[in-house]
Structure 1
Amino acid sequence: MFDQVLPYLDYLESWMADWDATLQMDDKRKLYSDISKYMRTYGKKPEAFQYLKMYHSLFQGESADLLKKPEVADQTIQLIKDAITLPVIIQFDDVLMLDSVKALKGTKQEGLVTLCEVFLSGTVDDLKEFQKKNGQLFDEHGLNFQDAMSKIRLLTLATMARGQSELPLDEIAKQIQESPSSVEAWVVRAISEGVIDGRIDQLNRKVLVKSAFLRKFEKEEWNFLDSKLSQWIDNLEEVIKFLGEQKNKVEDA
């Protein structure tokens, strides 16, 4: 009867708040886990991923013994596989911050965590190097290398576009290792999927960039944002100063 419950899942958090007095942590985890499984059965994989991430968020701060239990480890592997294979998932810092994901380090599944780190901040060359050393990991977990390459190309483009107002198409082609004749299609895809906001100047073979997706948000990104805000504030102060001067000229006249 899950299909009858599905339309009401938007109310789940408020329901759980009402049930909090009687709902144990294990109950909450099982609820998110079960919903994720049902979503997957219904072919709603992005939604299944989101509920599975809620499940893992409930393990923050737990002991290493609990995090390494087979049922938790299996769910962690599924979460990472979803993040890698789903085209709509391009954010990896929130996955890597989960304690259940960190717990895979030092185990035979550590390669999955390393692969997530490639998607967090790596390049096309980094993914190729990883695949060369860990080709069996793709086969073991049913991961498609070409799909992974498509994602890393888009993320590499996001990194290139950060803080830039324009990018030459030939430079993009070089960095994502695509032919100059097909690079426009990749830019169009990046724009349509929200990786960058901009448009293509076909005459000058450039991408005019308004903004770009940030693959991670750490100290470097905060400093970058701070510099941008300072620049905007300075620009606004100049505008206000100019308008004041013009107002005074009009009043004097």
Structure 2
Amino acid sequence: MTTLVPTSEEDPALAVVRFTAESSWADAGPEVAEGQVSRLCVEAQECMIQNRWLDLASLMLTSADVIFSKASEKDLECVYTVICNLVKRPESLDQVHEIAELIATKVTQQPNDKPALRLKILFNLYNLLENPYSQFYVYMKALNLAISGKVTEHVLLSLKKIDNLLKEWNLGIKDQRDLFLAVANILKENKGSAKDSFNFLVKYLETFSGEDASTMTEAKEEAVRTIIEFVKSPDMFQGDLLDMPAIAQLEKDAEYALVYQLLKLFLTQKLDAYLDFHSTNATFLKSHGLVHEDCVTKMRLISLVDLVTNESGQIPYSLIKDTLQIEDNEVESWVVKAITAKLMDCRIDQMNQVVIVSRCSDRIFGNNQWQALRTKLANWRVNIANVINTIQANKITEDAAQATQGLMTR
């Protein structure tokens, strides 16, 4: 098929109508095709004369959709470029949005047919729009198409600009939810983006703070998903999830109470509590894709860190052994694992069989942690003030001594 390149004075939109009509009716024979092509061109001209841009877009999209599977991608890109440019014709922003909505809806109806090209068309449409809400609408269509068409790699670069886009779009809570959830789903499909996906899930759940109970139920499935993702992750040990209303609602939920108990266990308890939980809920854990051995590994690291917060900074080997339920010769290797995971900074004293900890991470950061931080900052402030006073006092003494020495010399 030849590439569409307008070379006459004919309006590009009319040229596209003629091209797509001829292509879609080519198999019907010249007698039938000629009449249909003429009819569509006349109808298109009437739309243009009467400024019926939405009707023109609908007419063009119908013909373009017919040839989508058989036309070359180069021809289709040219055709849809002209169609997308129709959003520049109306003066009313409402009409522009209607056209953008029609194009985006039509383009995303068959996401598995040339999905990468469809994405390219949507981003071309996005770049032609000036109204922030229309931009957001088309962008969401693009994200959903990327998921359905399994071409999420084509939208990853745009996700890095989400914070700036949010400022431009000035979205309401409902639209923010849709965006955060779509981004989380896209990142989930890409290796190495699990933590970013989790963070967007958390942002999604945070939008439910202050909502009534009926609205909060919308977040139950994603709240469960967030908890399971947290427990599964081998490198996530901290979180303020328990305080989030969207997650707290699961505590007394008949279906999901066990999920909440699991989260609370991983954020506030030690290995022995997990083993008790597993003994009665092994089937439940497997149903959510959780591997017992992986959970034990994570709980051992968490339990080790928890010992630091409850001790004076020196942890005996014997206590680590009993808490982690390991052998004597495994103690140091688990300490090294905790250091590697950046859960603590410490020194291993083999002679005295203790671990001397200089820093450790808290699993949760609530009121107690804020109070402890406030106390540390207050002490730091006092210490700095004492140092400054000492320096000033020494300076005064030194100045006095120098002045006395000068008088004696004279």
Contact between 2:152 and 2:189, CA under 8 Å: does it hold in 1? no
Given the alignment of the two structures, is residue 63 of structure 1 paired with residue 219 of structure 2, yes or no? Answer: no
Give the aligned residue type for 2:162: L
User: Which is higher, the Rg of structure 1 or of structure 2?
Assistant: 2
Q: What do you get for the CA RMSD once the two structures are aligned? A: 2.3
Bigger drift between 54-63 and 235-244 goes to 235-244
| Among candidates 152, 170, 181, match of residue 2 of structure 1 | 152
Contact between 2:250 and 2:257, CA under 8 Å: does it hold in 1? yes
Secondary structure at 2:355 match in 1 = strand
Q: Taking every aligned residue pair, what percent have the same amino acid on both sides?
A: 26
2:328: which partner in 1?
180
2:251: which partner in 1?
105
Give the aligned residue type for 1:229: L
2:290: which partner in 1?
143
Q: Deviations over 1:223-245 (max 9, x none)?
A: 43344334434444554455455
Structure 1 position 132, deviation (Å): 2.2
Q: Deviations over 1:94-125 (max 9, x none)?
A: 22222221222222211111111111110111
| Among candidates 5, 9, 12, match of residue 162 of structure 2 | 12
Structure 1 position 30, deviation (Å): 1.8
Structure 1 position 78, deviation (Å): 1.0
Contact between 2:198 and 2:229, CA under 8 Å: does it hold in 1? yes
1:50: which partner in 2?
199
Mark the CA change 1:237 to 1:13 in structure 2 (over 3 Å): closer, same or farther: closer
Structure 1 position 47, deviation (Å): 1.6
Contact between 2:349 and 2:356, CA under 8 Å: does it hold in 1? yes
1:33: which partner in 2?
181
Secondary structure at 2:227 match in 1 = helix
Distance 2:400 2:316 in 1: 49
- The residue correspondences of 1:73-92 to structure 2 (distance < 5 A) are 73-92=220-239
Structure 1 position 73, deviation (Å): 2.1
Distance 2:212 2:353 in 1: 54
Secondary structure at 1:210 match in 2 = strand
Distance 1:26 1:244 in 2: 58
Secondary structure at 1:217 match in 2 = coil
2:346: which partner in 1?
198
Q: Deviations over 1:141-179 (max 9, x none)?
A: 121122122222212222222374332233222222221
Give the aligned residue type for 2:319: E
Distance 1:248 1:127 in 2: 62
Using CA pairs under 8 Å that are at least 6 residues apart, name the structure with larger relative contact order, 1 or 2: 1
Distance 1:29 1:244 in 2: 56
Mark the CA change 1:136 to 1:239 in structure 2 (over 3 Å): closer, same or farther: same
Secondary structure at 2:356 match in 1 = strand
Structure 1 position 252, deviation (Å): 5.2
Structure 1 position 90, deviation (Å): 0.9
Distance 1:245 1:157 in 2: 45
Distance 1:13 1:237 in 2: 40
Secondary structure at 2:303 match in 1 = helix
Distance 1:237 1:187 in 2: 37
Distance 2:331 2:380 in 1: 32
Bigger drift between 209-218 and 228-237 goes to 228-237
Normalising by structure 1, report the TM-score. Answer: 0.86
Mark the CA change 1:241 to 1:199 in structure 2 (over 3 Å): closer, same or farther: same
Normalising by structure 2, report the TM-score. Answer: 0.55
1:165: which partner in 2?
313
Give the aligned residue type for 1:170: S
2:115: which partner in 1?
none
1:224: which partner in 2?
372
2:137: which partner in 1?
none
Distance 1:170 1:67 in 2: 46
Mark the CA change 1:228 to 1:19 in structure 2 (over 3 Å): closer, same or farther: closer
Secondary structure at 1:134 match in 2 = helix
Distance 2:375 2:207 in 1: 36
Q: Deviations over 1:186-229 (max 9, x none)?
A: 11111111111223233433322221101223333334334433
Distance 2:387 2:172 in 1: 57
Mark the CA change 1:234 to 1:9 in structure 2 (over 3 Å): closer, same or farther: same
Distance 1:25 1:202 in 2: 55
1:123: which partner in 2?
270
